[in-house]
C-alpha cells in the first residue's frame, strides 16, 4: 500500500509540474493573479460560450452520474467533487462577469 501511495504522489507531482501549478506553501499567496485580474479573466471566460457550454456539460454529466448512484461509495464522492468543481467555476465566472458589467455601467 505504501508503494501505491508513493507512485500516486509522484504521478500527481508530475502532472502538476507539467501544467505549471505551483504547490509550494507560501502564506497568503494563491497563484500569480491579483483578485482584480482574476475577476477579469473569469469575466472573459463567462463571455466564451464554448467554455460555458463545456463546463455545463461536465457538471450535468457528473450530476446525472450522481443521481444514478444507488449507494454512497467512493465513486459517488468522486462524481460529487467533479460536479462541485465545474459548478463553482461556472458560478465564479458568472459572478465576475456580472461585476465587470456593473463596473462598466458605473464608469
pLDDT in tens, 45-72: 999 999 999 999 999 999 999 898 888 8
Q: Nearest Cα to 94, choosing from 50, 47, 51?
A: 47
Identify whether 15 is part of a domain. Answer: no
CB 78 within 8 A of CB 65: no
Q: Can you give the pLDDT at residue 51?
A: 93
> Residue 15, SS3?
helix
Q: Is the pTM of this model over 0.85?
A: no
CB 59 within 8 A of CB 94: no
What's the number of domains the chain is made of?
1
Which range of residues forms the domain containing residue 80? 29-106
Q: Can you give the pLDDT at residue 45?
A: 92
Identify whether 2 is part of a domain. Answer: no
Q: Can you give the pLDDT at residue 37?
A: 86
- Which tens digit of pLDDT belongs to each residue from 11-36? 888 887 887 776 666 666 656 777 88
Share of the chain above pLDDT 70, in %: 89
- Mean pLDDT over each residue of the chain, to the nearest integer: 86
Distance separating alpha carbons of residues 55 and 58, to the nearest angstrom: 5
Q: Can you give the pLDDT at residue 1?
A: 62
Amino acid at each position: 500500500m505504501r508503494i501505491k501511495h508513493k507512485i500516486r504522489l509522484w504521478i500527481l507531482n508530475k502532472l502538476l509540474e507539467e501544467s505549471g501549478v505551483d504547490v509550494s506553501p507560501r502564506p497568503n499567496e494563491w497563484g500569480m493573479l491579483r483578485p482584480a485580474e482574476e475577476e477579469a479573466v473569469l469575466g472573459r471566460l463567462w463571455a466564451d460560450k464554448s467554455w460555458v457550454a463545456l463546463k455545463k456539460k461536465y457538471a450535468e454529466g457528473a450530476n446525472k452520474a450522481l443521481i444514478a448512484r444507488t449507494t454512497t461509495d467512493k465513486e459517488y464522492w468522486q462524481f460529487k467533487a467533479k460536479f462541485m468543481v465545474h459548478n463553482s467555476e461556472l458560478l465564479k465566472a458568472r459572478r465576475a462577469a456580472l461585476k465587470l458589467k456593473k463596473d462598466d455601467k458605473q464608469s
